[in-house]
Amino acid sequence: MEAYAGTSQPNVRQLAHSLLAWADPERDTRIAREAVTRMRASGKAVFCVWSGQRLRDDYDIDHCFPFAAWPCGDAWNLMPASRQINNEKSNRLVTQGALERASEYITNWWEGAFLAGSDDAKNRFYLEAGQTLPLLIERPAPADIIDAMKVHRIRLAKDQGLRPWEPRPTTGPGAPIAAGFQQA
């Protein structure tokens, strides 16, 4: 057995360093961008979750909870947004009211992007939500995930002291009413 193992012992210091090394989280929105591409290819419109406006080619993927404060690239945290609104929001934390008003757009986004597709995408979505949000049930409905986001939002606001963000009402012909997200 000794001949097989040789005489070399593991370098414990090097092993400990590699196991304890901090890995910077990667800011990756590919899963959401690919979902936008799939939805558009199948003829579905994609809307800004914060304003309700239909998105054209010029859009961003927003981290609902700012990546700078809470580096989470899970599917449930990635939202399509207009570039202007995403820039306004920046690293601020969406208010409870804005999250509630956007909940229908968010759940519609999740349904079209992750839940109506393959079992793999759906399973990944629920696995990630279950691992990072305070969910109390095994197979939550989208409304349960929104509720868990509201709880987590309160925790982030308290622990991180993030500045709040509330979308400005959208006006103009064909623009949805921001307070109710109704199409004109």
Q: What is the pLDDT of residues 106-126, one digit of tens each?
A: 999 999 999 998 899 999 999
Q: What is the pLDDT of residues 35-86, one digit of tens each?
A: 999 999 999 999 999 999 999 999 999 999 999 999 999 999 999 999 999 9
Cα separation, 144 vs 134, whole angstroms: 10
Beta-sheet pairing, 59-63 with 78-82: antiparallel
pTM, entire model: 0.80
Cα separation, 26 vs 22, whole angstroms: 12
Cα separation, 170 vs 108, whole angstroms: 20
Locate 79 and state its tokens: 């939202």
What average pLDDT score do residues 91-100 get?
97
Q: What percent of the chain is modeled with pLDDT above 70?
A: 84
Q: How confident is the model at residue 97 (pLDDT cuts 50, 70, 90)?
A: very high
Q: What DSSP state is assigned to residue 73?
A: -
Locate 97 and state its tokens: 């009211």
Token look-up 């629920």 returns 126
- Sequence-distant (6+) residues with CB within 8 A of 159 are none
Q: What's the chain's average pLDDT?
A: 87
Task: Inform me whether the pLDDT recorded for 174 exceeds 50.
Answer: no
pLDDT of 171: 54
